[in-house]
Structure formats: C-alpha cells, structure tokens
Structure 1
Amino acid sequence: MPEIRFQIELPDGSQEVCYSPSLIVKDYFTSGSEYALTDFIDRSRTALNIASDRVRAKYGRPCGLALGQLAQIEAMASKYSDVTKPKVRLLKFIE
C-alpha cells in the first residue's frame, strides 16, 4: 500500500507531520487549504478510518499507525477548545 505523510499547521502556528497508510487522504484534503478545526478532525477521522479499513482488508487487521494518528489529531484538537474559530492548514503532502 502506498503510504503518505502530510504536514499541517495548527491554530497556534506550530507544525506537525501526520501519517496515513493510504493515499485516501488526498481525496479529503487539498495542499495549501485551510480547514476549520472541527472539519479537519471530521475529514481526518473519515480518511484515516478508510485507510485503516484498507489495511484490514489486505492484511487482516486494522492499521494501528492510522488509528494512532487519528488519536493524536483528536488529542491535539482538545488543546484549542478555547480558541475562537481555530483553523488547520494542510501545508503539503510528503510522498
């Protein structure tokens, strides 16, 4: 399976590199685009669950890395609960 990483900028300006075991994230995000934090989480949840399901279909078990990445994104989001209209920018895909 082709894996991919994507670099994001968080509401406080810090940056993170995220992982997906599938290119499906390219169907949900566009390089250079900005997303409301809740939209970013929803898109991440959908894309990473699909990616994990693809791994399960091929290897018989879900992808722990994809599910772990989703857990990190959800934990990160909680840090910005007091920010008004927080945004996340997808800076680039790293293939």
Structure 2
Amino acid sequence: MPEMRFQIRWPDGADETCYSPSLVIKDYFVPGETYPLPDFVARSRTALMIASERVREKYGTPCSLALGQLARIEISAQRFGTKSGERVTVIAFVE
C-alpha cells in the first residue's frame, strides 16, 4: 500500500508534515489550495478514516498511524477555536 505525506500550513503560519498510509489524500486535497479550518478537518477525517479502513481490509487491523495523525490534526485545530476565517493551506504532497 503506497503511503504518503502531505505538508500543510496552519492559520498561524506553522508548517507540519502529515502522514497517510494511502494516496486517498489526493482525492480530498489539492496542493496550493487553502481550506477553511472546519472543512480541512472534515476532509482530513474522511480521508484518513478511508485510509485506515483500507489498511484494515488488507492487514486485518486499522492503521494506528492514520488514526494518530487524525487525532493530531483535530487537537491542533482546536487551538484556533471557533474563529471564523481561519484557513489551512495544503502546501505539497510528498510521495
């Protein structure tokens, strides 16, 4: 199963490299695009849950790395609270 990483920029300008065990991330994000924070979190949740399920189907257990990445994204997003207009940029895919 091809894994990949995707680089993002949080609303405060901090960059982060995120992990996915599947290329499904490419179905939900476009490099160079900026997403409203709630949309970014929702897309991440959907994509990483699909990726984890693909691992479960192949190996019999969900992907703890994908689920851990999702948890980190959700926790990081919380530090921005409910401010409207906060956006996350997908910088690049790293394969």
Structure 1 residue 83: deviation in Å? 3.3
Root-mean-square deviation (Å): 0.7
**Following the alignment from structure 1 to structure 2, what is the Cα–Cα distance between the partners of residues 52 and 73?**
15
Q: Which runs of 4+ in 1 moved over 6 A?
A: none
2:45 maps to 45
TM-score (norm 1): 0.98
Q: Where does the alignment leave 5 or more consecutive residues of structure 2 unmatched? A: none
Tell me how many residue pairs correspond in the alignment: 95
1:16 maps to 16
1:35 maps to 35
Decide whether aligned partners of structure 1 residues 53 and 30 sit closer, same or farther in structure 2, where only a CA change above 3 A counts: same
SS at match of 1:2: coil
1:88 maps to 88
**Following the alignment from structure 2 to structure 1, what is the Cα–Cα distance between the partners of residues 82 and 29?**
25
Q: Report percent identity of matched pairs.
A: 59
Structure 1 residue 85: deviation in Å? 1.3
Structure 1 residue 14: deviation in Å? 0.6
TM-score (norm 2): 0.98
**Following the alignment from structure 1 to structure 2, what is the Cα–Cα distance between the partners of residues 61 and 75?**
24
One-letter code aligned to 2:38? T
